[in-house]
Structure 1
């Protein structure tokens, strides 16, 4: 009886080749479609890279640099504008959202006072959402300004060189 079972098994696999059992064609088809799909979607993907710098540690005073440093501090309660030493202005949240319009107006005034200044530092408290940081950085980088006597809105570059860091 045991001999019959063995012969039955032997007769099932006797004439078959291992290559007939393992068919790789469907898997190759899937990989071909996957490669074509990835190549097509890679063309439409664009990644924006922003040039950022980390604030350097405070060294000795540099006589070539002005003492005024623009710092925008993103806190849970609102925004603060500092000059590097003291807080100059506080912008509280409006309806649980940051008042980016008011921030933009204040930064335009600062740019008018310091037209040669291109650097600004954005400092953020822990637990502040990343999206808020990006919105503040966009506001610091540029603003939409309507010149007096004109109906058109111009995009003005404010402080394009942004450094980021942790709020004190």
Structure 2
């Protein structure tokens, strides 16, 4: 006796429409929730602008500062239009120590904020700082330097700390 294999003529197809509906809804939900989370981690920075000439009234008031903070392996170098702070502007030398050296192997962000606060007292209208970093500097150090340049905590009238704006317009540059 032989067995005969019966081939069913009506083979049912798998209905994937409900599955696709669920997947599309989940993907849309995840995309919408991610855009809400990503907005909290955004820092507005810009590239340095090239200006053809300064406004005549502004040039008469005060010279342009062009404040630059460079993050090196040994610490922070703070420079303006006249040269590097703490060094002779006529003879810049890469072998000289930084303006704010590392303390115990760590970058001195509080010292950087204090130095920038002293600069802000002399240039109260200046808002821009150009930030440069050595290629070996970690990303977290760059972000903490941005925070140190943007504002500082000062005791308020009620004793609670408030934030004083230093240089909120941060531009990124490359050490070359």
Normalised by the size of structure 1, how large is the TM-score? 0.76
1:132 Cα deviation from its structure 2 partner: 1.0
Q: Give the conservation status (yes or no) of the 8 Å contact 2:65–2:126.
A: no
* Structure 2: runs of 5 or more not aligned: 87-98
- The structure with more helix, counted as a fraction of residues: 1
For residues 135 and 39 of structure 1, the distance between their equivalents in structure 2, rounded to whole angstroms, comes to 29
Residue from 6, 16, 30 that aligns with 1:24: 16
SS in 1 for 2:119: helix
Residue from 44, 47, 54 that aligns with 1:54: 47
* Structure 1: runs of 5 or more not aligned: none
SS in 1 for 2:132: strand
The reply to whether residue 124 of structure 1 matches residue 124 of structure 2 is: no
The reply to whether residue 99 of structure 1 matches residue 108 of structure 2 is: yes
The number of residues matched between the two structures is: 158
The reply to whether residue 163 of structure 1 matches residue 157 of structure 2 is: no
Deviations 1:109-128 (A, max 9, x none): 11111111111111111121
Normalised by the size of structure 2, how large is the TM-score? 0.73
1:98 Cα deviation from its structure 2 partner: 1.0
The structure having more radius of gyration, on CA atoms, is 1
1:25 Cα deviation from its structure 2 partner: 5.5
